[in-house]
Amino acid sequence: MKLKTSCDELAVMGGSPAFSDTLHVGRPNIGDRSEFLERVNGILDRRWLTNNGICVQEFERRLEALLGVKHCIAMCNATVALEITIRALGMTGEVIVPSFTFVATPHSLQWQQITPVFCDIDPETHSIDPRRVESLITPRTTGIIGVHLWGKPCKIEALAEIAGRRNLRLLFDAAHAFGCSHNGRMIGSFGDAEVFSFHATKFFNTFEGGAVATNDDDLAARIRLMKNFGFAGYDNVVYIGTNGKMSEISAAMGLTSLDHLEEIITINRRNYAAYASGLANVQGIRLVPYEGADRYNYQYVVLEVDEQAAGIHRDMLLQALHAENIMARRYFYPGCHRMEPYRSYFPNAGMLLPETERLAERVLSLPTGTAVSEEDIVDICSIIRLVLKNGVEVTNALANGKNT
């Protein structure tokens, strides 16, 4: 690609797009095709396609070893895993959750008539602010769900302290945090339980899939029954349940992805570093940092765009990038409290969520993963710089409907 140097070369100003192949956030990472197909042949030879098959069993044992937890239960996806875990923990009434998350977090509560009570976030970490949790507790509150947004552990100790003192259950939506650690311990062993997502758009995927990790024997036993209709053996249903099972083909993908976990993280880290150096010292832009001693998976490269300092609103930058076939995303716009049914249930929720509202106008997720090269990132960064340098022109062009 020829580096763009002047404003009129930008696609949004009428130039041709920088990339002919579209760059995505969350393009699936595929471990190794032949290893995967070999496992699939094994599944077909055994004619054992689901119901706690060989691959699922191996996948669960390997996850337990990797995460250092007693129990890991593979599931069909993280949303069902959250629903089942919430139910197995006996949560009812009200549960405190951030609004700045994927909508599955509150949906997994509301789906079973539990009210999500939205808590604001800490603008530094983007995660639930423990200092704001306590004032939201009522006699109906039974639990807290923290989300390790962007794979950065939320304030685990502070939440655990409140949960312990107020006798609340503590669950973590760890959908972003597979392969991450906190104080030398892998995410998966904190709170009453933690839930991972292995959806195709996550950096580690099983097509669709998820898992619950816990050190609680009784909780694990209840979850195992619940995800398999309550069957304790042939013809013996001892519990109410649903169908949350992971299939063999998903576990085969998971095993293959596990074999390549470190390579994928290394590429994500390399990409993150390329963005960090490409966007260093750009006015009005902050790259969400991954720092300290913790392990990260670097699967999200998240920008905060300060309109005043950058000279352009996040949404204009987004449109300019889309015109170049750089499909950046506004995760998690506009915040769950502005989505249905919550918007109708709690029309004034925004007043209690000033930081969430502010951040939802500023964040942008950039393309990364094994489908994005370092050279791509150099080009993306130079385009972001060029757009910002010409913020007024780009904003005016978009306002006049040019190229849209």
Ligand X SMILES: *Cc1c(COP(=O)(O)O)cnc(C)c1O
Q: Catalytic residues, which ones? A: 202
Q: Judged by CB, which is closer to ligand X: 203, or 346? A: 203
Q: Judged by CB, which is closer to ligand X: 18, or 264? A: 264
Which of 74, 78, 303, 363 touches ligand X by CB under 6 A? 78
Q: Which residue has the tokens 């998903």?
A: 250
Which of 83, 120, 173, 376 touches ligand X by CB under 6 A? 173
Spatial contact of 1 and 377, defined as CB atoms under 8 Å apart: no
Q: Letter for the amino acid at 49? A: L
Q: Which residues contact 37 (CB under 8 A, 6 or more apart)?
A: none
* Residue 365 makes contact with ligand X by CB under 6 A: no
* Dihedral sign of CA atoms 50, 54, 58, 60 in order: positive
Contact region with ligand X (CB under 6 A), list: 50-58, 96-104, 300-308, 350-358: 96-104
* Residue 182 makes contact with ligand X by CB under 6 A: no
Q: Judged by CB, which is closer to ligand X: 105, or 368? A: 105
Q: Which residue has the tokens 């502010």?
A: 358
Question: Residue 14 CB: number of other CB atoms within 10 A?
Answer: 12
Q: Is 116 helix (H, G, I), strand (E, B) or coil?
A: strand
Contacts (CB under 6 A) with ligand X, residues 102-121: 102, 104-105
Q: Letter for the amino acid at 340? A: E
Spatial contact of 328 and 365, defined as CB atoms under 8 Å apart: yes
Q: How far apart are CA 39 and CA 221, in angstroms?
A: 28
Q: Judged by CB, which is closer to ligand X: 147, or 193? A: 147
Q: Judged by CB, which is closer to ligand X: 197, or 214? A: 197
Which of 29, 127, 142, 197 touches ligand X by CB under 6 A? 197
Q: Which of 299, 327, 275 lies closest to 199 in space, CA to CA?
A: 299
| Least separation in angstroms between CB 367 and ligand X | 17
Q: How far apart are CA 78 and CA 152, in angstroms?
A: 18
* Residue 147 makes contact with ligand X by CB under 6 A: yes
* Residue 127 makes contact with ligand X by CB under 6 A: no
Contact region with ligand X (CB under 6 A), list: 39-47, 61-69, 101-109, 235-243: 101-109
Spatial contact of 143 and 125, defined as CB atoms under 8 Å apart: no
Q: How far apart are CA 344 and CA 309, in angstroms?
A: 35
| Least separation in angstroms between CB 105 and ligand X | 5
Question: Residue 354 CB: number of other CB atoms within 10 A?
Answer: 12
* Residue 176 makes contact with ligand X by CB under 6 A: yes
* Residue 369 makes contact with ligand X by CB under 6 A: no
* Residue 79 makes contact with ligand X by CB under 6 A: yes
Q: Which residues contact 176 (CB under 8 A, 6 or more apart)?
A: 147, 148, 149, 150, 151, 197, 202, 297, 299, 300
Q: How far apart are CA 109 and CA 116, in angstroms?
A: 6
- DSSP assignment of 188-203 equals TSSSSEEEEE--TTSS
Contacts (CB under 6 A) with ligand X, residues 228-257: none
End-to-end CA distance of the chain: 23
* Residue 300 makes contact with ligand X by CB under 6 A: no
Binding-residue total with ligand X (CB under 6 A): 14
Q: Judged by CB, which is closer to ligand X: 29, or 105? A: 105
Contact region with ligand X (CB under 6 A), list: 128-136, 169-177, 183-191, 360-368: 169-177
Contact region with ligand X (CB under 6 A), list: 20-28, 77-85, 301-309, 384-392: 77-85
* Residue 100 makes contact with ligand X by CB under 6 A: no
**β-strands 210-214, 193-197: how paired?**
antiparallel
Which of 77, 99, 250, 257 touches ligand X by CB under 6 A? 77
Q: Judged by CB, which is closer to ligand X: 81, or 386? A: 81
| Least separation in angstroms between CB 149 and ligand X | 7
Residues that bind ligand X (CB under 6 A): 77-79, 101-102, 104-105, 147, 173, 175-176, 197, 199, 210
